[in-house]
Amino acid sequence: MTRHDWRLAPAAIASWAAAWLGTSGWFPDTAVLAGLTAFAAGLAVWLWVLRQHWLAVAVLILMLTAILTGWRCAARHDSPLTDLIQRPMVASIEVRVMTEPQRRPPVVWARAELQRAMGREVTVMARQPVVLLASGDVADELLDVEPGATYIVVARARAAEPTASEAAVLSVQQIDRRVTPPNLLDQAINSLRQGLRDAMTLSPPEHAALVPSLVVGDTTAVDEAMTQQFKVTGLAHLMAVSGSNLVLVLGAWLALLRRVGVRGWAIRVGAVLAVAGFVALCGQEPSVVRAAAMGLVALAATGMGQAARSLRGLFVAVLTLMWIDPWLSRSVGFALSAAACAGIVVLGPRLIASLKQWAPRWIAEALAVPLAAQLATQPIITSMSGQISLVAVLANVAAGPFVGPTTILGLAAALTFWAPPISLCLGWLAGWMAQPIIWVAQAGAAMPTPAIDWPVGVIGTALATVAAAGASVALPILLRRRVVAVTILVAVIALSVTRVGPLGWPGHWQAMVCDVGQGDATLIRAGESAALLVDAAPDAMPVMRCLDDAGVNQVPLLVLTHFHADHTGGAEEVIGKYRPQLVLTREGLLPGWLLQAAQKVGSEVRAARPGEVISIGAATWTTVSVGDPGADMSEDSESSAENDASVIGVATSDQLRLLLAGDAEPAGQSAALRGAARLGLALSVHMLKLPHHGSSRQDERFFAASAATLAVASAGAGNDYGHPAQSALDLAREHGMSIARTDTEGAIAVELATDGLRVLRRGT
DSSP code string of 391-411: SHHHHHHHHHHHHHHHHHHHH
pLDDT digits (tens, 9 = 90+) for 140-162: 899 999 999 999 999 988 888 88
DSSP summary character for residue 554: B
The answer for residues whose C-beta is within 8 angstroms of residue 518's C-beta and 6 or more apart is 538, 566, 693, 715, 716, 719, 721, 723
pLDDT of residue 303: 44
For residues 406 and 400, give the distance between their C-alpha atoms in angstroms, rounded to a whole number.
Answer: 10
b or e along 591-607 (b: 16 or more beta carbons within 10 Å of the residue's beta carbon)?
beebeebbeeeebebee
Report pLDDT for 85. Answer: 76
- Reference 151, options 125, 182, 127; nearest CA is 182
Reported residue count of the chain is 764
pLDDT on residue 744: 85
- Between CA 238 and CA 244 the distance in angstroms is 8
Q: What pLDDT, on a 0 to 100 scale, did the predictor assign at position 2?
A: 61
The string over 504-532, giving b where at least 16 C-beta atoms fall within 10 Å of a residue's C-beta and e elsewhere, is ebbeebbbbbbbbbbbbbbbbbbeeebbb
CA distances to 28, 431, 552, 663, 724 from 535, in Å: 48, 34, 15, 11, 18
Higher-confidence residue of 680 and 275: namely 680
Tens digit of pLDDT for each residue in 485-519?
999 989 888 888 877 666 677 888 999 999 998 89
User: Exposed, middle or buried, 420 (CB in 10 Å: 0-12/13-18/19+)?
Assistant: middle
Share of the chain above pLDDT 70, in %: 90
Q: Is the pLDDT of residue 667 over 70?
A: yes
Which region, left, alpha or beta, applies to residue 217 given φ > 0 means left and ψ of -120 to 50 means alpha? left
At residue 664, does pLDDT exceed 70? yes
> Dihedral through CA 470, CA 471, CA 473, CA 479, nearest 10?
150
pLDDT over threshold 80, residue 290:
no
The reported pLDDT for the residue numbered 635 is 46
Task: Note the helical H segments in 283-419.
Answer: 286-299, 310-324, 332-346, 348-355, 361-385, 392-415
Cα 361 from Cα 656, distance rounded (Å): 60
Q: Are 158 and 131 in contact (CB under 8 A)?
A: no
Q: What is the pLDDT of residue 300?
A: 53
CA 106 to chain CA centroid, Å, is: 15
Average pLDDT, the chain: 85
CA dihedral (33, 36, 42, 43) positive or negative:
negative
Q: Is residue 703 within 8 Å of residue 371, measured between CB atoms?
A: no
The strand pairing partners of 123, in sequence order, are 118
Please tell me whether residue 604 adopts helix, strand or coil conformation: strand
pLDDT of 23 above 60:
yes
Residue 161: count of CB within 10 angstroms of its CB = 12
Pick the closest to residue 344 from 321, 360, 322, 367 (CA basis): 367
Residue 751 three-state SS: strand
Cα distance between residue 156 and residue 171, in whole Å: 5
What does the DSSP assignment read for 512-534?
Answer: EE---SSS--EEEE-SSSBEEEE
pLDDT band at 522 (very low <50, low <70, confident <90, very high): very high
**pLDDT higher than threshold 80 for residue 37:** no
- Bigger pLDDT: 176 or 452? 176
Q: What pLDDT is attached to residue 88?
A: 66
For residues 633 and 631, what is the distance between their CA atoms, to the nearest angstrom? 6
The partner residues of 559 in beta bridges, in order of sequence, read: 534, 584
Q: Is the pLDDT of residue 313 over 50?
A: yes
When pLDDT is averaged across residues 666-679 and rounded to a whole number, the result is 94
The CA-based diameter of the chain, rounded to the nearest angstrom, is 86
What own/partner pairs with CB < 8 Å and gap ≥ 24 does 524-529 have? 524/619, 524/621, 524/651, 524/652, 524/653, 524/658, 525/550, 525/618, 525/619, 525/653, 526/554, 526/556, 526/616, 526/617, 526/618, 526/619, 526/653, 527/554, 527/617, 527/618, 529/553, 529/554
Alpha helices in 78-154 (DSSP H): 81-86, 136-143
Place 636 in a pLDDT band, splitting at 50, 70 and 90.
very low
Weakest mean pLDDT among 51-55, 369-373, 565-569: 51-55
Q: How far apart are CA 750 and CA 660, in angstroms?
A: 14
Is pLDDT at 634 greater than 50 in this prediction?
Answer: no
Q: What's the pLDDT at 265?
A: 72
The percentage of residues in the chain with a pLDDT greater than 90, rounded to a whole number, is: 43
Task: Say which residues have a Cβ less than 8 Å from residue 122's Cβ, sequence separation at least 6.
Answer: 83, 84, 87, 89, 91
Other Cβ atoms within 10 Å of 46 Cβ, number: 13
* 314 or 668, greater pLDDT: 668
Say if strands 168-180 and 387-389 run parallel, antiparallel, or are unpaired: unpaired
State pLDDT tens for residues 238-261. 876 665 666 666 666 777 777 777
Whole-number Å distance between alpha carbons of 332 and 242: 13
- The whole-number average pLDDT for the span 277-284 is 69
- Given this model, what pLDDT does residue 304 score? 41
What pLDDT, on a 0 to 100 scale, did the predictor assign at position 243?
Answer: 59
Give pLDDT, residue 631: 54
pLDDT at 574: 94
The DSSP bridge partners found for residue 653 are 619, 656
| Average confidence (pLDDT) over 108-135 | 85
Residue 201: which residues within 8 A CB-CB, separation 6 or more? Answer: 208, 424, 427
What was the pLDDT predicted at 287?
Answer: 60
Backbone angles phi, psi at 711, to 5 degrees: -115, 130
Helix (H, G, I), strand (E, B) or coil at 560: coil
- Distance (Å, rounded) from C-alpha 274 to C-alpha 545? 44
Q: Could you tell me the strand order of the sheet in which 656-660 lies?
A: 613-616, 619-625, 648-653, 656-660, 687-689, 710-713, 738-741
Does position 740 have pLDDT exceeding 90, yes or no? yes
- Give the confidence band of 27 by pLDDT, cuts at 50, 70, 90: low
Question: Taking a C-beta distance cutoff of 8 angstroms, is the pair 644, 627 a contact?
Answer: yes
